[in-house]
Amino acid sequence: MPFVRIDLRRGRTEEELQAVSRAVHRALTETAGVPEDDYFQVITQHEAGEFRYDPGYLGISRTDSLIFIAITMGRGRGAETKRALYARTAQLLEESAGVRPEDVMIIVTENTLEDWSFGQGIAQHARGDRTGGEAR
């Protein structure tokens, strides 16, 4: 049950945005056990003055093609799963969207089942309420 925010510099084509979106989702399904239909993302493009980063932090050479990926998901995935997610995301972004691994920054934030409402004003997972769809 991830919610993904993808932030990048303005200027990408619709095809590039689609490739980025699909790569991130595929990495989540392959490494973190996310179902195919659990697909919730917001992609935001920013003007140059709204998108700031250190081009050499931790010795990693970043360019204006940098993508910030913020993933909020339920607790329970260990460090090994997260490392696999980071690596697979970078690999798929390079293969499908031509994004250098150095230009991929990922932040995972975990929360609990009570922190999610998928609609109808119900915390579907916390209550075991399957109204409006099967809880995962």
pLDDT tens, residue by residue, 68-78: 999 999 999 99
* Within-domain flag for 28: yes
Looking at residue 127, what is its pLDDT? 60
Overall domain count for the chain: 1
* Within-domain flag for 38: yes
Concerning whether 101 is annotated as a catalytic residue, the answer is: no
The pTM of the full predicted model, rounded to 2 decimals, is 0.88
Tens place of pLDDT per residue across the chain (136 aa): 899 999 999 999 999 999 999 999 999 999 999 999 999 999 999 999 999 999 999 999 999 999 999 999 999 999 999 999 999 999 999 999 999 999 999 999 999 888 888 888 888 877 665 554 443 4
CA-nearest of 18, 134, 41, 33 to 88 is 33
Instruction: Evaluate whether 21 touches 15 at the Cβ level (below 8 Å).
Output: no
| Count of all residues that appear for the chain in the document | 136
* Within-domain flag for 93: yes
* Within-domain flag for 132: no
CATH number at residue 11: 3.30.429.10
Name the catalytic one among 2, 35, 55, 101.
Answer: 2
Looking at residue 117, what is its pLDDT? 80
Q: Identify the domain containing residue 7 by its residue range.
A: 2-111
* Within-domain flag for 62: yes
* Within-domain flag for 134: no
* Within-domain flag for 116: no
* Within-domain flag for 7: yes
